[in-house]
């Protein structure tokens, strides 16, 4: 019987050991063992409270949702108030995942910082406030960031990162988060990041996969699994591999980055884990999917061949499964970062000095002016 239609399901207090199920799902989640508990609240656990900023150039679409006008059709998710609230909530979710940090890479006093696909700009604003000697630039196809800030070291521009970069400076840290649906060719963005980065600078991806899975098999045959599969099919038809995060480490190394680190984490959907951190993260993520599934499905499931009514029905069914505490759904999250080598680390300069993770004083960019 389909798990989403059954009042039964797995017994309570199951130990979800990823090593036991890794061969079945083909993914390692850094050895995390999430334990599931029954009788969880099935309603979304938090209501996002972000502000809404209207893009001055938008395209109105069916269902009352709006999309960006600049590079129309390149990005498939809305940019309206509902989506902005969801993006603000996602920002909080990643801070929970990283125990309050904004970056996992071992950055030290970066002078120039670039936040690609900045969305509402919360990451860039927080980073600028916490690193006042840095100059932070956020870029996006949509102008949904604050136009006036009391933060002199943070600014936003409309830009497509697959176009040639024309920044007058090089960066010391480049941050990309939740960009799996953004680029037709992520390698182009990585190459431009490498070419526009100071030696010793870091690039970091924080990204998910569209593939919804479970470590105990409770998503198999469910409607949320079908939603995930059709989203993958639709994105592929639109020229996007939404499971590309598994290649980031390889692509960074191929581009010339060194000290590349890849970590994977579970992003639970719903408050089913017993671990307090992941229970809170799952509760927030349940709100995230309730706010986001309709908007992100609109164009993508149409590309997969579904009609409007079929999309609405599948989204409703998938959200029912997301709220079912007996279905222990999650997204895998990749945190991948790497460093641009110093000249002496290349084949032309074989000598490798110590403490390369620290910024030598001669490479310190200093405060931005």
CB 101 within 8 A of CB 161: no
For the chain, which residues make up each domain, given as ranges? 56-355
Secondary structure class of 46 (helix, strand, coil): coil
Closest C-alpha among 265, 320, 328, 324 to residue 14 = 328
Which pLDDT does position 358 carry in this prediction? 37
pLDDT averages per 10-residue partition of the chain, 369 residues: 33 33 40 54 44 52 61 57 78 95 96 92 94 93 75 89 90 94 88 97 95 93 96 89 92 97 95 94 93 83 92 95 96 96 75 43 38
Sort 304 into a burial class: Cβ within 10 Å, 0-12 / 13-18 / 19+.
buried
d(CA 54, CA 343): 45
CB 226, CB 210: distance < 8 Å: no
Q: Does domain 56-355 have CATH number 3.30.420.40?
A: no
pLDDT at 177: 93
C-alpha distances in Å from residue 359, one per residue of 138, 154, 273, 362: 24, 23, 40, 8
């Amino acid at each position: 019987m389909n798990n989403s239609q059954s009042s039964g399901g797995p017994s309570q207090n199951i130990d979800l050991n990823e090593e036991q199920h890794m061969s079945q799902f083909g993914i390692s989640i850094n050895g995390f063992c999430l334990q599931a508990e029954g009788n969880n609240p099935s309603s979304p656990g938090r209501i996002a409270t972000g502000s809404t900023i209207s893009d001055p150039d938008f395209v109105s679409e069916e269902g009352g949702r709006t999309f960006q006008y600049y590079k129309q059709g390149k990005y498939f998710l809305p940019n309206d108030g509902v989506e902005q609230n969801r993006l603000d909530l996602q920002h909080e979710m990643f801070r929970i995942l990283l125990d309050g940090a904004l970056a996992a890479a071992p950055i030290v006093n970066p002078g120039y910082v670039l936040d690609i696909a900045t969305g509402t700009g919360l990451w860039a604003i927080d980073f600028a406030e916490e690193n006042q000697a840095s100059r932070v630039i956020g870029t996006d196809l949509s102008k949904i960031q604050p136009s006036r800030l009391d933060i002199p070291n943070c600014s936003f521009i409309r830009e497509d990162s697959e176009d040639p970069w024309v920044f007058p400076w090089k960066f010391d840290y480049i941050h990309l988060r939740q960009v799996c649906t953004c680029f037709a060719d992520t390698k182009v963005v990585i190459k431009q990041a490498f070419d526009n980065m100071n030696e010793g600078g870091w690039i970091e991806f924080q990204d998910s996969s569209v593939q919804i899975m479970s470590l105990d098999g409770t998503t198999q045959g469910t409607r949320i699994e079908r939603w995930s599969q059709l989203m993958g099919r639709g994105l592929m038809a639109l020229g996007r591999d939404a499971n590309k995060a598994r290649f980031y480490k390889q692509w960074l190394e191929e581009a010339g980055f060194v000290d590349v680190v890849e970590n994977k984490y579970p992003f639970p959907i719903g408050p089913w884990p017993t671990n307090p951190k992941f229970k809170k993260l799952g509760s927030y993520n349940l709100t995230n999917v309730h706010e986001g599934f309709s908007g992100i499905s609109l164009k993508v499931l149409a590309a997969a061949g579904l009609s409007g009514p079929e999309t609405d029905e599948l989204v409703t069914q998938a959200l029912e499964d997301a709220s079912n505490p007996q279905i222990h759904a999650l997204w895998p999250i990749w945190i991948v970062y790497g460093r641009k080598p110093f000249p002496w680390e290349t084949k032309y300069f074989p000598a490798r000095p110590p403490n390369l993770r620290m910024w030598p004083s001669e490479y310190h960019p200093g405060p931005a002016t």
